[in-house]
Chains A and B, each alone.
Chain A
Amino acid sequence: MLARDFKTDVLPISSKLLRFARQILQDEEDAKDVLQDIFLKLWQKREELVKVENMEAFAIRMTRNRCLDLIRSRRAVPMEVVKNNYKLEEDCSDTDHLENAEMTGLVKRIIAGLPDLQRTVIHLRDIEQLEYEEIAEATDMTVNTIRVNLSRARKKVRDEILKIQNYGITENTTIVAKIL
């Protein structure tokens, strides 16, 4: 693969990979470090990249593995920190009116608090808009397992959002619960 092809085919995936690494590691600096490692490796192996059929799934898989290695090596439990932060903010949030930034932050924190598989699939599907087959390639999971985990993750996000809103808008939530 030529340097020009690398810039057009591989570099544009960087934003997705950064979001994904950030989602797993819950740390901006660590995510950037992982991304630099990944892209340096991809650059050094660029001659072999022509054989890769789905570059995006391949790079996502590399990123996921690298992030999990990092977590294992540090024996870090980032989810615990995230969950604690989420609880603190949840207690003092004003649920009558959620601004865009607040909504984003809220969804982000709920997703961050999900179990690893659910977090990975909801991120790859709902944020990165990957097909089920691509997610399967990137995570080594079957499409059926992905669907099960995705459904659980989406319902968890929905339930958490409704629960937070429930403090102020009980009536609406009841109606929605009846619809679904």
Chain B
Amino acid sequence: MLQKYFEAESTLDEESELINYFNSGEVDDQLKPYIPVFSGLKELSVNENEELGEDLMNYILESEHKEKLKYRWMWQIVTGVAASVILVMLAVNFYSNKDQWDDTFSDPKQAYTEATKTLEYVAGKYNKGMAQLKPIGKIEDAASPFYSGMKTWNKGIEKLGNIENLNIELKK
């Protein structure tokens, strides 16, 4: 089995058997020089740090937390810059529009008077336009006898509808 071991032809079970034998304390004198090989290998496979897994998990969670903080910090910077840009744009817009409203009246009474004047001007123009439409009223007057004649005609037609009833009665 020892020969198989050194030729790398032994199985894991056989190797485990060899390790147990050389660590048993009952090794044949002739094979004692091999004890350091197998006892050394056995010692090397012992888990020295039982808390290693826990330490690694803590490291992972801590790294994830740091990563999240980093992204939050980046997000804060991005949103901060975006908010600043919006504010600047609003400020520019406000000041550029302000020039257009420089003629606005500061006194409300004066503003009311000016508004009334403007509306009166518009109303005057409207009335002028309406006055030019007066001849259309004359056409309407001329057409009124025609409309009344048509009413009489319609009545006569309605009476003609009774002729049919008269014919039926005559037949009877």
Interface residues of chain A, those whose CB is within 8 Å of chain B, are 7, 11-12, 14-15, 18-19, 35-36, 39-40, 43, 98, 100-101, 103-104, 106-108, 111, 125-129, 131, 146-148, 150-151, 154-155, 157-158, 161-162, 165, 169, 172-173, 175-176, 179-180
**Are B53 and A106 neighbours in the complex by a CB distance under 8 Å?**
no
Interface mask (B3-38 → A, CB under 8 Å = 1, otherwise 0): 101111100100110000000000001111111110
**Residue pair A154, B39 in contact (C-beta under 8 Å):** no
Q: Which A residues touch B7, using CB under 8 A? A: 151
From DSSP, what is the main secondary structure of chain A's interface residues?
Answer: helix
Known contacts A35-B56, A108-B44, A129-B12; decide if A180 and B37 are in contact (CB<8 Å). no
A176 close to B59 (CB less than 8 A): no
Report A44 CB to chain B, min CB distance, Å: 9
**CB pairs A–B below 8 angstroms (19 shown):** A11-B53, A14-B56, A15-B47, A15-B52, A18-B52, A19-B45, A40-B60, A103-B39, A104-B44, A106-B36, A107-B40, A126-B45, A127-B45, A131-B12, A150-B8, A158-B37, A175-B30, A179-B30, A180-B6
**Is B40 a contact partner of A36 (Cβ separation < 8 A)?**
no
B binding-site residues for A, Cβ under 8 Å? 2-3, 5-9, 12, 15-16, 29-37, 39-41, 43-45, 47-49, 52-53, 56-57, 59-60, 63-64
Q: Which residues of A contact B3 (CB under 8 A)?
A: 180
Contact between A11 and B36, CB atoms less than 8 A apart: no
Residue of A nearest to B35 (CB): A103
Known: A180-B3, A180-B6. A11 touches B57 (CB 8 A): yes
| Min CB gap B31→A, angstroms | 7
Among candidates A103, A108, A129, A154, residue contacting B5 with C-beta atoms closer than 8 Å: A154
